[in-house]
Every structure is written in structure tokens, then in C-alpha cells.
Amino acid sequence: MNEKCGIAVGIFLVCCILTGGLNSVKGGVVHAWGDNRFEQCNVPAGNDFAAVAGIGDHHSLAMRADGSLAAWGANFQGQCDVPTGSDFTAIGGGGYHGLGLKTDGSLAAWGDNNSGQCNVPSGNDFADVAGGFNHSLAFKTDGSVMAWGSNSNGQCDVPAGNDYAVITDGWWHNLTIKTDGSLVAWGSNSHNQCDVPAGTDFVAVACGGRHSLAIKADHSLMAWGSNDHGQCNVPGGNDFMSIACGYLFSLAVRTDGSLVAWGANYWGACNVPSGNNFVTVAGAFYHGLAIEGFPGDADLNGFVGQDDLDIVLGDWGENIPPGDPQADQSRDWFVGQDDLDMVLGNWGQSAPSSNPSVPEPATMSLMVFGGLILFRRVRA
């Protein structure tokens, strides 16, 4: 696709002319690798996946761009019997249970409830959810955190406060980021996995079976806790954007969109797929999951168009958390001109399965004057 752009700085004027046809590309595709004894790596077809969840011992959980859920693999406790509907905005995977956040701010849970991990609290003021092995965690809109289920290791003894910003669950411990960028952990500390490093520059966290992982504001990694399989031997570099932990291994997405893994490689858990378009990753017991998108597809629905433009313009000038596959298309944790260019540069592209009818090459012009958008599409 050929691009001609002119930018007048000072009054926020963007004039772009794009000409060209469509390419056959894919986006929002889930990849899975590692242990497949229960078919937890047999991913359903589709290029519209928006989120994946880890921790599941022998199953996998994902959310599609339309807000519906999909699960596959072992279903011993009904953990793959996901609720129907297209009103989910976030998911969390437990050992044998699943969790979902709905558009009305309420929670849903299914699967194993032997420890009360599916007894979700009532209310419509939840903003995120996460699942441990047999406990559950939720983040509320007032900045507080709630936990329920097994408390065998103190994993439900949430520290008081309304200054939490990010939550994540491990098998038997939890790790959070506070609004000042510092870390707090609680639960099992058998291998010092709750001995968080000092500092106020953390932006992302992940928990494994007995270890913890974090990304700092400079895109570097830190790890602590059990290192009996090298799961804390983080690779060097300052180019990490998303992280996840399996039980005894660690995963990360670099800013170039590639995957890297280290630690125990049982059943090939660290044999990550190649490619440079991955946007997020999740770790389970001995398998991994990742979503592969394509440039410009901010909503991961398999097509680059008006919705993606709206997402970028809606978050213009914002600092975006690492791993967010939406507005921050350039993976630099800031929404600006680079992200707009990626949407416009791939305008109209789609995976064949999501848009089999390929239009003729066209010309698209876009002008932005402050909040006013003038859009015109003309057949070539």
C-alpha cells in the first residue's frame, strides 16, 4: 500500500491519502503449544480472539472480540462449560474453574467450586478479574480488591486499601501493582515469591506456581521466587511489553511482537511459535497461549476499519499499560501518530475468513481537525 501524508503541527492537522488494495492477512488468532494431552492446545477456528487466560491445569479459556467466550481441553469439573452471551469484557482462568467480567460490572464463574472459588460476590462495580488454582480475585472500581475461595495459604487475605491498579493471580499467591507503581503480594511465600522488589516503576506483573515476574517502566524484566527450573533467569534487554507465567516457566512478548520463554520445558512449554505480530500471552500448567494480531487491528476482530480508528483517536495522548493490544499499536506504551499511521496504513485489510468479499482497490482520505474527523472513501 502506498501512502502520502502531510502533517501540520500546532493545530493537530492530519491529512492522509492511502491508495491500494487488500492483502490476505490474519489477526486475533490464538496459538497454543506445549502439553496437549487433553487437547488444551486444539484451538477453535477464528481470527477474532481478544483475550486469553492462563493457569488452567489442562484447559484453555479465551474471549472473542464480540464478548463471547470459548473454552477447550479437559472438562472434568465443567471448566469448559462457559456461559452463553456476548457481554463479557474480561476473563480469568483458574485451575479447574473460570471467571468472567460482564459489561454491567458483574461477575460470573463456572467449573470447580469445591473451595467456594465460584461463589462470586454480588455487585456491579467490578473492573477486572483473575483466577488462582482454587481461589479467585477481583478488582473493584473504587480501587479495592476482593478475594474468595481457598485461603489455605492466606491467598484471600487481601491487604486493605483502595489504591490498587493491576491484579494478577498465581497458583497460591497474588501480586498487584498500586497506583504509585509499587508492588504488593500475599499468599504462599514458600519460595520467596511474595518478597517483592522495592520501587515505584512497575507497570505489569505475572505469577507462576512459585515465582513472580514484573515489567518495569523502562521495558526491562525482574523475577523472584523459585528458580529451580530457571524460570527466574530473565532474558536481557529493555524491549518487553507483555508477560505471563506457567507453573514452572515464564513467557514474554517483546516490543517487536516476538515471543520468548524460559524455565521448565516439559511437554514443550517453552517452544514458542515464531512470528512478530503477537500482542498478548498467557501461561497455564505446562502449555502456553498467545494472540497473533496484525498491524492496525486495534479491536482484534480481524479487520482494520473505523472501529480501530475510533479506538486510537479515543485514547490519543494516553499512556497505555503494556500488553494492551488495542490503541497502542506501535507497542511504545503511548498512543500517538505512530499508532494512527498503523491503522491508516492497513486500512481495509482483513483475514479471508472474516471478510471473504474483497472490494476493489480504493482511495481513502482522512482529515482530523481537533476532534472533528472528515472521512471519504472513493472507488478507484
Q: Which domains does the chain have, with CATH numbers?
A: 2-21+296-379 (no CATH), 29-292 (2.130.10.30)
Higher pLDDT, 21 or 183: 183
pLDDT band at 44 (very low <50, low <70, confident <90, very high): very high
Instruction: Give which of 335, 369, 349, 332 is closest to 21, Cα–Cα.
Output: 349
Higher pLDDT, 250 or 23: 250
Kindly state the average pLDDT of the residues 337-342: 86
Instruction: Give which of 31, 32, 33 is closest to 266, Cα–Cα.
Output: 33
pLDDT in tens, 308-337: 889 889 889 888 766 566 788 777 778 889
Q: What percent of the chain has pLDDT over 90?
A: 66
Is residue 376 predicted with pLDDT exceeding 80? no
As a whole number of angstroms, the distance between CA 278 and CA 144 comes to 31
pLDDT band at 296 (very low <50, low <70, confident <90, very high): confident
Kindly state the average pLDDT of the residues 283-289: 96
Q: What are 28's three cell numbers?
A: 486475533
Is residue 187 predicted with pLDDT exceeding 90? yes
Instruction: Give which of 45, 51, 47 is closest to 63, Cα–Cα.
Output: 51
Is residue 378 predicted with pLDDT exceeding 70? no
Kindly state the average pLDDT of the residues 229-237: 97
As separate numbers, helices (DSSP H) first and strands (DSSP E) second, the chain gives 2, 25
User: DSSP string spanning 79-117?
Assistant: TT-PPP-S-EEEEEE-SSEEEEEETTS-EEEEE--TTST
**Does residue 227 contact residue 202 with C-beta atoms inside 8 Å?**
no
CA dist 265 to 33, 150, 193, 343, Å? 11, 29, 20, 37
Residue 324 has a pLDDT of: 65
**Which span out of 28-32, 187-191, 342-346, 351-355 was modeled with the highest average pLDDT?**
187-191
Q: Is the alpha carbon torsion for 124, 125, 130, 135 positive or negative?
A: negative
Higher pLDDT, 48 or 326: 48
Please give the helix or strand (H or E) that residue 278 lies within, else none: strand 278-283
H-type helices in the chain, by residue range? 306-314, 337-345
